[in-house]
Amino acid sequence: MSRLLRQALLGALALLTLLLTVLPEPALAHGERATEPYIRTRTVHWYDMSWSTDKLDVNQTVTMKGKLRLLSDWPDAVSKPKLVFLSNGSPGAVLTRVESYINDMPAQQSARDLELGRDYDFKIVMKGRMPGRWHLHPVLNVQGAGAIVGPGSWIEVAGDEADFKAPVTTLHGTVIDDLQTYNVARVQLWQFGYGLIGVAWLLWWLRRPLIIPRWVALQKGREDLLVTSTDDKVAAGLFVLVLGIVIYGYSQTVQAFPQLVPLQAGSVYTPPLPESPKLVDIQLKRAEYDVPGRSMRITAEFTNRSSQPLQIGEFTTAGLRFVNRKVDAAMAAVSPTFPKELVPASGLVLSSDAPLQPGETRIVKLDATDAAWELERLVSFLSNVDSRTGGLIFFYDPEGKRQVAEVYGPIVPVFKTGPGV
Ligand SMILES: [Cu+2]
């Protein structure tokens, strides 16, 4: 290779390294957009979500709460919510989860047998630990399916990390000042101690000629040369030593902490929230995703079985809220703390805005258009293992009372704005 070419290549490499060092922006979110649209639109629908604050100091708490609906049309490719764990999505241990509830029942443990088509209440209390600006989501971990992430909001934590404390009082009234550092030295001593014994045992064998000489000895039928009587004595001594340490350690621990509660491995059951009567029938006629137009269009037949006229106020899916700006009750239902980027300004546009009268059946076309589909990476309906979509529609009567109904069905991607149906 000529010298000139080599210099040019080195120069290019140096430039590339520099660019890759300077250009990338720090990762702020944590992959919530990576989940496939068929999971995000057809499994857990998070709604009525609020965050108690968006600014707190280290040691102060923020409460994230809302409801979740497990869609009836749960995809076949995703494990059913037989065992779930309610958690939080945030970049590392920047906030500490201090309390969590499903239907007001403590949810430190997993919950089992959640029912599809039903609603559950949830609440998560997080305590500020590291100063910074963090994206905080609720997460439902479903066994076999993985983490299903809800909408996230930016939370600003101020103060000094050194001030963070996680005190706790045990059942016996012992006060632990800070769980972060509680008995860390004891744990380290055990880990280091056993590590030391392991390393010593390895060194005992490694100091001798290794693979080839031992293989030669085996070939010559002199297996007796491989393990000497000193090896046997050392092995026996080590066995007695480890056994002694285990027995001594156990008796010491039991003496220091006479009553221990083992780690809890059970799961809890909570019935879903009471089912409200189904007052609207929805029959999906056609759903299409207009790729260049960044628009989801749903044509459905609605039948109002209630005694009140009903207006379509909101369509929500994958954490996005398309709100019909002409319905005041729907606008009022968006908590001021709900992230603005998840409430597209274009809202929900209907082919006819007149309220559905009691007993009336009408075909209405819903148009949810926004760049958020693209930003939230929800446009890959074409490449999904199952081209279906789903969501919730909120109806409001003249008194502002809400009906929640599910809508789901096949979705067809389209690449030009057509006449529709
Ligand atoms: Cu996030």
CA of 32 to the centre of ligand 1 (A): 6
- Locate the DSSP E strands across 90-221: 95-102, 105-106, 110-112, 119-128, 132-142, 146-149, 153-158, 168-169, 175-176
280-414 carries CATH number 3.30.470.30: no
User: Which pLDDT value is given to residue 223?
Assistant: 85
CA of 207 to the centre of ligand 1 (A): 52
Contact 344, 372 (CB under 8 A): yes
User: Which pLDDT value is given to residue 208?
Assistant: 85
What three-state secondary structure class fits 279? coil
Q: Do domains 32-171 and 184-256 have the same CATH topology?
A: no
CA of 133 to the centre of ligand 1 (A): 11
- φ/ψ of 397, rounded to 5, equals -90, 175
CA of 184 to the centre of ligand 1 (A): 31
CA of 101 to the centre of ligand 1 (A): 21
* Domain layout of the chain by residue ranges: 32-171, 184-256, 280-414
CA of 318 to the centre of ligand 1 (A): 13
Q: Which of 384, 342, 418 is nearest to 29 (CA)?
A: 342
Contact 333, 394 (CB under 8 A): yes
184-256 carries CATH number 1.10.1530.10: no
CA of 97 to the centre of ligand 1 (A): 16
User: Which pLDDT value is given to residue 150?
Assistant: 93
CA of 38 to the centre of ligand 1 (A): 19
CA of 49 to the centre of ligand 1 (A): 15
CA of 314 to the centre of ligand 1 (A): 23
User: Which pLDDT value is given to residue 270?
Assistant: 93
CA of 29 to the centre of ligand 1 (A): 4
User: Which pLDDT value is given to residue 368?
Assistant: 93
Q: For residue 210, give the DSSP letter.
A: -
Q: Which CATH number fits domain 32-171: 1.10.10.10, 3.90.850.10, 3.90.400.10, 2.60.120.570?
A: 2.60.120.570
Per-residue pLDDT of the chain (421 residues; tens, 9 = 90+): 567 778 888 888 888 877 777 666 555 556 777 788 888 899 999 999 999 999 999 999 999 999 999 999 999 989 999 999 999 999 888 999 999 999 999 999 999 999 999 999 999 999 999 999 999 999 999 999 999 999 999 999 999 999 999 999 988 888 999 988 898 999 999 999 999 999 999 999 998 888 898 899 999 998 888 888 999 999 999 999 999 999 999 999 899 888 888 888 889 999 999 998 889 999 999 998 888 888 899 999 999 999 999 999 999 998 899 999 999 999 999 988 899 989 999 899 999 889 999 999 999 999 999 988 888 777 777 677 778 889 999 999 999 999 999 999 988 888 875 554 4
Contact 313, 396 (CB under 8 A): yes
User: Which pLDDT value is given to residue 421?
Assistant: 42
CA of 84 to the centre of ligand 1 (A): 20
User: Which pLDDT value is given to residue 312?
Assistant: 94
User: Which pLDDT value is given to residue 8?
Assistant: 83
CA of 108 to the centre of ligand 1 (A): 22
CA of 199 to the centre of ligand 1 (A): 43
